[in-house]
Structure 1
Amino acid sequence: MEFKPSKSRSISIVKGQLANERFHVNNEPIPTVLEKPIKSLGRWYSAELKDSKQVEQLRQDTIRGLKQINSTALPGKLKLWCFQFGLLPRLMWPMSMYEVTLSHANRLERLVNAQVRKWLGLPRCLSNIGLYGNGALSLPISSLVEEYKCAKTRLEMTLTESRDPFVRGAAPTLVTGRKWKPSAAVADAKTALRHRDIVGHVQHGRGGLGLEATTPTWQKATPTERRHMVVEEVRHQEEAARCAKAISQAQQGRWMKWEGVERRKISWNELWSMEANRPSFIIRATYDVLPSPTNLHLWYGEDPACLQCAAPATLKHILVGCKTSLTQGRYTWRHNQVLKCLAAELENKRVSINAMPLNAQSTFPQKTTFVREGEKRRTKPSPSEAGPLSTARDWEMRVDLSQRLTFPPEIAITNLRPDLGPHSCRQVFIIELTVPWEDAIDEAFERKRLRYANLAAEAEGRGWNARVWPVEVGCRGFVARSTTRLLKEVGIRGQAQRKAIKELATAVRSSHWLWLKRRDAAWAAG
């Protein structure tokens, strides 16, 4: 091996002070670190032996990168994509290698948040939970602080649990400030994972035993899997901290009290297909930070009265509570838009069921097969053959849309008008759709169930097998679990179910139109 002084660096420290001493090899001087800083393994070393300059350079790179993205003529959602997949990965490496404290990471995230809100058209009062949380509404962007903690956690485990004993013994202490320590975070995550092994796999919902036993246990996991499990546990703790903070927020944390609502996750493909101002409306409506008259009264002291009925115009009042809008048919128009989507999905399923040959075995319930814990079910029934619709091939359906729905008199004589009424030989579904405020979804379900209970009892008295299915789709596009249960019951599952749920989220598009027309005295459907 040939020693090249020009590619080497030297440093002399005498009694804690830098000394102007030079070293020579074959009468050729070795440059000092003070003269020429050196980069080794992705990290710059200078005479100060501190990372203060690199941290400041990281801040300047962040500001420069945000300015470059912001100066382009791209739309806001494409600028957001450039940050997520262009700038953020470039910031992660120096944040992992240098002694960047959590306070510095928080300052960088504040710079990022200002631009993210600007690109999405969001106000400054919107909490970071609305941007990075995985609550009722999840956006496809990552928190810089969360990625910073995950990167430091991953580096801590890589050094302290290395297979090389020399690396393990010489593992440095990662400097991240006094607020958060990677070693403490790793210890807490390991404790939580060991406790999870003791508790075992806890089932959620009505799933069978072993349905969620897909992740390996801590004791049986490989080193790579353990590192991944610890990082995911750190992410879980960050999300738990966001939820704890959201509970204390009286207005923006109202989504924590939503029961029976499916969470909504906006993907990049869905974001591309939206109009320019649609993502802004969805996010601001979810956390109630739209410029409604009530919010404007709190922010600027303006008149909080509704222009239609002179009542206090909160967002709830504008979307579901204005009597004038109800009289003009605005809410009915939105209800019919959602009903068209639901009716189209059920009609497609009805046609496909009626076109299938009647199987004599389909009228009997399928045999129950038990699966061992941790194993997957081998045989899976076809979605088209599952559910009560597979018991007949003469299904008919009436929808209360263009014409006034008349309930079949051979089933029951009533003045009630359910939205949908699929029926066949001695079987009938009484489906009633509601587009309520998300906080009142459970109340709407019970109200509609009790309303049609007597109708179902009368039909059963005539020998019909009647089932009442109240379904709800929130006015802000959040689908209730009762709706997903209906889709699953009729055999719409998997990818078809996810597609149907996205179609039913058309309620938010209709609500957006109602919001844009909130000041118009006359009503014209969009």
Structure 2
Amino acid sequence: MCGRRGGQGYGLIGGHLGQDQCHACKGYGHWRRDCPYHNYLELANERFHINNELVPTILEKPIKSLGRWYSAELKDSKQVEQLKQDTISGLRQINSTALPGKLKLWCFQFGLLPRLMWPISIYEVTLSHANRLERLVNAQVRKWLGLPRCLSSIGLYGSGVLSLPISSLVEEYKCAKAGLEMTLTESRDPFVRGAAPTLATGRKWKPSAAVAEAKTSLRHRDIVGHVQHGRNGLGMEATTPTWQKATPAEQRHMVVEEVRHQEEAARCARAVSQAQQGRWMKWEGVERRRITWSELWSMEASRLSFTIRAVYDVLPSPTNLHLWYGEEPACPQCAAPASLKHILVGCKISLTQGRYTWRHNQVLKCLAAELEKRRVKINSMPPNSQPVAPWKMSFVRGGEKRGSKPAPPEAGALTVARDWEMRVDLSQRLIFPSEIAVTNLRPDLVLWSKSCRRVFIVELTVPWEEVIGEAYERKRLRYANLAAEAEGRGWSVKVWPVEVGCRGFVSRTTTKLLKEMGIRGQAQRRAVKELAATAEQSSHWLWLKRRDISLAAK
């Protein structure tokens, strides 16, 4: 008989009480070969064999296809629980090795995380389960990097002023679901588009809504065009392709990147509400710092931990210890409340002992070395008999081969002369050149040329990152009268106040100075990294010696 029994298969129809009727074939007690339910019963009773070996059904044994297990329950609850156990087991195996924390982090990033992403993508994993998995990962990552438990996950996965080469499991989860949604709904096969299922991710987050929001944002960006971001100026940000002109593959990539951007915007919104760990949101005019894996290998574990904790102000300073454990918050040297800012830039005893001066001179040596290389290179070049012609584009005719690309001419403000001189206020007391002006001021670096009567006055400051703008204005006004006096003598003067933050963040005025001097491209990036590393290492030394009262920097 027909297999559709129960409330759907029985009824009082046509006055036939108690007769079995199939709603599909309208048959009473007899078979119809064209009924799909009758055919299903016949197929269910059929067993298949391969080489006289019985093929088990899905009721007897689950089936795995393309990395996904199919069972008779038609649910993914067991697979999600198994995913959690695999995550715990993988983290436990990595943690049980004798590798240092940086290598354990590398094993997770390139070993365990890629193995977890495919099950997360194909199974019905909700956002709540992904958050639970990320909390398990965060505990181990903090342990491997030597970070306290109070550090927010924004410091681990955020792309703010300091970004680490670690991927967030929740962010990768959302990007994978958004990419799968785009693959199914934007497929070129109409049958795939029509049969695209609704991805089950819980009630907190929907891939379809996230993709729709990303598309709306990208279309709105095409309408508005390029705009100014922050105070960098119009055109300073990298250009992005337009949504209308992008190919389907590019559109899928743009949607995934927009989902990443939305996740980063959510992190920034949470960082604004954090009174202590979110102070980096107030930093203006600093270059973002990205720690790569190559830099991670070269950094000591204590230095890496200091850098991350210093940015988010979770170092065990007396003020933080008083907040956490109720200890005395006084500075061991001057008895003032010893916050991280006080220890690195604000202690009067450390200033009189010359510790801050020592750090300032270390950074100045690095900056002077870069400018000295550029000065020697420019002075060794042959003199220019005529202005350098601008670089022209070479066209290739049909049938011809492209020749070697001509090297662009040397750029920068130093190319106008070959007699540049430089003085630095380091080992000897700097005396300002009398032919320019007579003054008692001692700028950190003076670079001048007698032939073209041009002079650059560079003043370096290693301040707290939140007051970089104030330090720039203060140094600029300090040398305004000196610049006016030199201009009265016929000199072209340019004052360059530059700042390198005490925690290793270079200001944009420093990068502009390097670019003005002709240090660009890879040389500029290398110089910025050296300046940041020098300031960071010096501040790390000051932090380690914070309890030494009578020790002066050497």
Shift of 1:24: 2.2
Cα deviation, 1:411-439, whole Å, max 9, x if unaligned, reads 11111110000111111111000000001
CA distance in 2, matches of 1:212, 1:401: 39
After superposition, where does 1:329-408 map in structure 2 within 5 Å?
Answer: 329-362=354-387, 382=408, 385-408=410-433
Whether the 8 Å CA contact 1:159–1:167 is kept in 2: the answer is: yes
1:160 to 185, 191, 198: 185
Structure 1 residues 433, 15: closer, same or farther in 2, change over 3 A? farther
1:427 to 438, 443, 454: 454
1:315 to 321, 340, 347: 340
What secondary structure sits across from 1:429 in the alignment? Answer: strand
Counterpart code for 1:502: K
CA distance in 2, matches of 1:201, 1:498: 26
Partner of 2:65: 40
1:441 lines up with 2:468 in the alignment:
yes
CA distance in 2, matches of 1:313, 1:452: 33
Counterpart code for 2:202: G
Cα deviation, 1:281-327, whole Å, max 9, x if unaligned, reads 00000000000000000000000000000000000000000000000
Whether the 8 Å CA contact 2:354–2:553 is kept in 1: the answer is: no
1:266 lines up with 2:291 in the alignment:
yes
What RMSD in Å do the two structures reach over aligned CA positions?
Answer: 2.3
How many equivalent pairs are there? 500
What secondary structure sits across from 2:78 in the alignment? Answer: helix
Unaligned runs of 5+ in 1: 1-11, 370-378
Whether the 8 Å CA contact 1:80–1:116 is kept in 2: the answer is: yes
CA distance in 2, matches of 1:490, 1:436: 23
After superposition, where does 1:217-366 map in structure 2 within 5 Å?
Answer: 217-362=242-387
1:508 lines up with 2:536 in the alignment:
yes
Cα deviation, 1:313-349, whole Å, max 9, x if unaligned, reads 0000000000000000000000000000000000000
CA distance in 1, matches of 2:436, 2:537: 36
Cα deviation, 1:82-112, whole Å, max 9, x if unaligned, reads 1111100000000000000000000000000
- Give the TM-score of the pair, scaled to structure 2: 0.87
Whether the 8 Å CA contact 2:354–2:552 is kept in 1: the answer is: no
Shift of 1:275: 1.1
Q: State which drifts further: 99-108 or 169-178.
A: 169-178
Shift of 1:201: 2.7
Whether the 8 Å CA contact 2:353–2:552 is kept in 1: the answer is: no
Partner of 1:474: 501
CA distance in 1, matches of 2:464, 2:5: 72
Shift of 1:34: 2.5
Whether the 8 Å CA contact 1:203–1:212 is kept in 2: the answer is: no
Partner of 1:8: none
CA distance in 1, matches of 2:464, 2:246: 45
Cα deviation, 1:369-399, whole Å, max 9, x if unaligned, reads 9xxxxxxxxx99847x222211110001001
Structure 1 residues 183, 13: closer, same or farther in 2, change over 3 A? farther
CA distance in 2, matches of 1:464, 1:28: 97
Whether the 8 Å CA contact 1:471–1:482 is kept in 2: the answer is: yes
Shift of 1:208: 5.5
Counterpart code for 2:47: H
Structure 1 residues 58, 15: closer, same or farther in 2, change over 3 A? farther
Partner of 1:518: 546
Counterpart code for 1:488: K
Shift of 1:13: 10
What secondary structure sits across from 1:514 in the alignment? Answer: helix
1:497 lines up with 2:520 in the alignment:
no
Counterpart code for 1:148: Y
What secondary structure sits across from 1:306 in the alignment? Answer: coil
Cα deviation, 1:203-250, whole Å, max 9, x if unaligned, reads 5544669x844x332112111111001000000000111111111111
Whether the 8 Å CA contact 2:391–2:408 is kept in 1: the answer is: no
Shift of 1:162: 1.2
Partner of 2:32: none
What secondary structure sits across from 2:243 in the alignment? Answer: coil
CA distance in 2, matches of 1:356, 1:53: 72
1:77 lines up with 2:102 in the alignment:
yes
Unaligned runs of 5+ in 2: 8-40, 394-404
Shift of 1:23: 2.8
Counterpart code for 1:479: V
Whether the 8 Å CA contact 1:339–1:433 is kept in 2: the answer is: yes
CA distance in 2, matches of 1:355, 1:336: 28
Shift of 1:270: 0.7
Cα deviation, 1:99-139, whole Å, max 9, x if unaligned, reads 00000000000000000000111111111110101101011
Cα deviation, 1:128-173, whole Å, max 9, x if unaligned, reads 1101011010111110000000000111111111111221111111
CA distance in 1, matches of 2:144, 2:374: 41
Cα deviation, 1:468-508, whole Å, max 9, x if unaligned, reads 11000000000001100000000000100000000101101
Q: State which drifts further: 386-395 or 289-298.
A: 386-395
Shift of 1:22: 4.4
Partner of 1:7: none
What secondary structure sits across from 1:103 in the alignment? Answer: helix
Structure 1 residues 449, 366: closer, same or farther in 2, change over 3 A? farther
Whether the 8 Å CA contact 1:431–1:468 is kept in 2: the answer is: yes
Could you tell me the percent identity over the aligned residues? 81
What secondary structure sits across from 1:281 in the alignment? Answer: helix
1:24 lines up with 2:34 in the alignment:
no
Whether the 8 Å CA contact 2:285–2:469 is kept in 1: the answer is: yes
CA distance in 2, matches of 1:15, 1:497: 78
Structure 1 residues 408, 15: closer, same or farther in 2, change over 3 A? farther
Whether the 8 Å CA contact 2:124–2:199 is kept in 1: the answer is: yes
CA distance in 2, matches of 1:263, 1:15: 67
Partner of 2:478: 451
Partner of 2:37: none
What secondary structure sits across from 1:32 in the alignment? Answer: coil
Partner of 2:12: none
1:145 lines up with 2:170 in the alignment:
yes
CA distance in 2, matches of 1:268, 1:334: 27
